[in-house]
Amino acid sequence: MDPENPTINVDELPRYINRERSLLEFNRRVLAQANNPEIPLLERLKFLCISSSNIDEFFEVRMASLYELEKDSAARTKPDDMAPCDAVNMLTEVAHELVEEQYHMLNNVLIPELQKENIRFLRRNHWSEQLREWIKTYFAESLQPVLSPMGLDPSHPFPRVLNKSLNFIVSLEGKDAFGRSNGLAIVQVPRSLPRLIKLPPEATEGENDFVFLSSILHANVSTLFPGMTVTGCYQFRVTRNTNLFIDEEEVEDIMSALQGELTGREYGGAIRLEVADNCPRHMVEYLMDRFNLQDGAVYQVNGPVNVHRLNAVPDLANRPDLLFPPFSAKQLSRKKPNKSFRLFNRKKETESLFDKINRKDILLHHPYDAFTPVIDFLKQASKDPDVLAIRMTLYRTGSNSEIIDALEKAARNGKEVTAVIELRARFDEDNNIIQATRLQDAGVHVLYGVVGYKTHAKMILVVRREGDKLRHYTHMGTGNYHHITSRFYTDFGLFTANPAIGRDASKIFQQLTSLGDTNNLEVLLQSPFTLLSGMLERIQRETENARNGKPARIIAKMNGLQEKTIIDALYDASQAGVKIELIVRGMCSLRPGVPGLSENITVISIIGRFLEHHRIYYFENDGGKPELYCSSADWMSRNLLSRVETCFPILDQTSFQQIYTEGLAIYLEDNIGAWILQPDGTYLQRHPDGLAPFSSQQALIEKYSPTNPTS
């Protein structure tokens, strides 16, 4: 027992926090935003929806993986070494708590507060006669024609149920058209139908009145079973295992194999059953039997079985006063600097991005800086007669991507274009296959990464002829080349003409295409080869500096921290006296603040308007020449051992200072959006406690505002 903190027993605390438990705690922090009165009301509803979507993915991916691990009696979770069955039991208990909190937040906090703002969800017992007539007509004209009710009997077996689809189990009395008593039926709702309907003026007097599709179906379900009596109708939804398995060593064409797997993803093994809380026990047990699930996997809920569908409300309600104030990203200036003062013909000339990058590195901080320069970079390269080759990695791009347009145009203009497209980007597989096919048709050299290693690096390399020499222009980033997520993910992107970075990027692209060895990079670190060892070397250097009485400090910002060797090295550094400040948005398996183990380590998580997505690593290096890296990789085993990732040094001092200030220091001062990880794995929100309130994200919004004279 620690005498200074009697609540912590070092001997009883496991050395590592369970990864999945930490992920659930992240979703608890997201859900807490829905209860924050300082946040605009419709934004609070969005946070509730995000937490619901995150929990869905948790079951589809993480809990599904644990169920698979349970089949192996020798398997253990990493890094905490739990038996999978014990982990499942623990996580099931926490997940039930979270789901209960979600519905409490919806029913007892958000719906009443929305009603005060005249945004109403009308339940059946509050429908006027006028509304009932409108709903009856709406059902007959818009719903009934696309519904296929299925009475269950030996020739009508229980249907296949799509992952996360809305369904109803209906109990019936009486005989069907053929004189038989069936007792049960299933109604499946097509995904093309909206789950929430905004009512028109002819249906209600309210400007923002909504009705759930489930309520409409409940009120009219009897019309689907003429001649029979409906005695009960209960919504349910099944979450399935969406993990894809492809034996990459055996398949000849990964795209064809992946397309085959994707067709079955919607019907993976059942992981969770959500069902209305008033559904009778015998019907719940019937569904459990159909989906081969145990009691712990059943979540009986008071409300819609898919809370995330409420995400449509902010757009439909048209209440900008209940949203965050609009934010416009800062645009990169295209003005050409005047080298001499001219009295006449002072027409402002524009400068190509290649000229700007030639003069100095350009750092973009998204979403505060616009993503447009990245697109412009490729557009200019596609048309520039001096550009010979464009090489790019693509993990997520989104549909209707201008980046794909630019690569396609470059290939048609005769440039040598290579795109390394990661087909296995989770939930983006379909889109990536479409984009890959389109680029191939345009003449782009398309590769799908490396067998067994996802290509997660974020790189663009443009080779340009300048005089009698070839020059490399490189863009490296911490986030995806996705024009939508760049509006609400925080990321850094660096344009540079630094020769060493260009040569290293060229070597990595050559490795990805030829599969040849690349072990002599000059300045970049790359996983699965040198990134883990490079980080460990720098952590150990700080450890030795501390032991020798020299300045020693580590600041790191990332999305997740789980790699055991990194955590152990940080524990050693802490015990040597290194001050370690970690900013970890999501899961964190390191246990901070434990006497004798990690008392010099603090971990905070920033939750706010934007999704924190930077990966930044700072090492004091005896105070003389500190090092700062940005990366596509978190300190997770998957990033460091089984993906192709890049980590690039910030060599330009202006960019160095900007990243240190805007990506690290400003977050350490946050006392509004920061949550502090406790030794027991829970988080406490940091409060100003007499200091002036300070939000890192709001400070950056104000700094980049067009009205800011220093912007």
Instruction: Convert 418-485 into a string of H (helix), E (strand) and C (coil).
Output: EEEECCCCCCCHHHHHHHHHHHHHCCCEEECCECCEEECCCEEEEEEEECCEEEEEEEEECCCCCCCH
- Residue partners of 239: CB distance under 8 A and separation at least 6: 56, 59, 60, 163, 164, 270, 271, 272, 273, 274
Residue type, 667: Y
Which residue's structure tokens are 């709702």? Answer: 189
Query: pLDDT digits over 134-178, tens only?
Result: 999 999 999 999 998 998 876 678 999 999 999 999 999 887 666
Q: How confident is the model at residue 355 (pLDDT cuts 50, 70, 90)?
A: very high
Average pLDDT rounded to a whole number, residues 605-617 = 97
Residue 396, token pair as written in the block = 């997520």
The span from the CA of 140 to the CA of 575, in Å, is 70
- Residue partners of 280: CB distance under 8 A and separation at least 6: 171, 232
Least confident interval from 277-281, 319-323, 392-396, 539-543:
392-396
Least confident interval from 10-19, 266-275, 565-574, 690-699:
10-19
Query: What pLDDT is recorded for position 11?
Result: 61
The span from the CA of 40 to the CA of 34, in Å, is 9
In this predicted structure, the answer to whether residue 255 has a pLDDT above a threshold of 60 is: no
Residue 462, token pair as written in the block = 């443009």
SS3 361: coil
Average pLDDT rounded to a whole number, residues 509-514 = 91
Least confident interval from 161-175, 276-290, 504-518:
504-518
Query: pLDDT digits over 531-577, tens only?
Result: 999 999 999 999 999 999 999 999 999 999 999 999 999 999 999 99
Which residue's structure tokens are 């955590």? Answer: 567
The dihedral sign for the CA sequence 28, 272, 245, 264: negative
User: Which domains, from first to last, does the chain contain?
Assistant: 19-322 (3.30.1840.10), 353-519 (3.30.870.10), 526-703 (3.30.870.10)
Least confident interval from 320-334, 457-471, 563-577, 631-645:
320-334
CB atoms < 10 A from the CB of 29, how many?
A: 19
SS3 53: helix
Query: What pLDDT is recorded for position 623?
Result: 80
SS3 201: coil
The span from the CA of 558 to the CA of 614, in Å, is 6
Residue 343, token pair as written in the block = 């009295």
DSSP string, 348-380: PPB--HHHHHHHS-EEEEETTB-SHHHHHHHHH
Q: How confident is the model at residue 2 (pLDDT cuts 50, 70, 90)?
A: very low
Query: What pLDDT is recorded for position 397?
Result: 85
Query: What pLDDT is recorded for position 340?
Result: 46
Average pLDDT rounded to a whole number, residues 510-515 = 87
- Give the chain's mean pLDDT: 91
Residue type, 319: R
280, 232 contact by CB (below 8 A): yes
In this predicted structure, the answer to whether residue 4 has a pLDDT above a threshold of 50 is: no
CB atoms < 10 A from the CB of 369, how many?
A: 21
Query: pLDDT digits over 314-351, tens only?
Result: 999 999 999 999 999 999 876 665 554 444 444 456 78
Query: What pLDDT is recorded for position 1?
Result: 40
677, 604 contact by CB (below 8 A): yes
In this predicted structure, the answer to whether residue 259 has a pLDDT above a threshold of 90 is: no
Least confident interval from 116-120, 443-447, 456-460, 660-664:
443-447
Query: What pLDDT is recorded for position 334?
Result: 62
Q: How confident is the model at residue 624 (pLDDT cuts 50, 70, 90)?
A: confident
Q: What predicted TM-score, i.e. pTM, was given to this entire model?
A: 0.93
The span from the CA of 97 to the CA of 85, in Å, is 19
Per 3-state DSSP, the chain is made up of helix, strand and coil in percentages (nearest 5) of 40, 20, 40
**Catalytic residue annotation:** 456
E strand spans, 13-166: 119-121, 150-151
The span from the CA of 28 to the CA of 51, in Å, is 8
Q: How confident is the model at residue 180 (pLDDT cuts 50, 70, 90)?
A: low
84, 109 contact by CB (below 8 A): no
Asked if the bond preceding 706 is cis, omega within 30° of 0, the reply is: no
CB atoms < 10 A from the CB of 70, how many?
A: 14
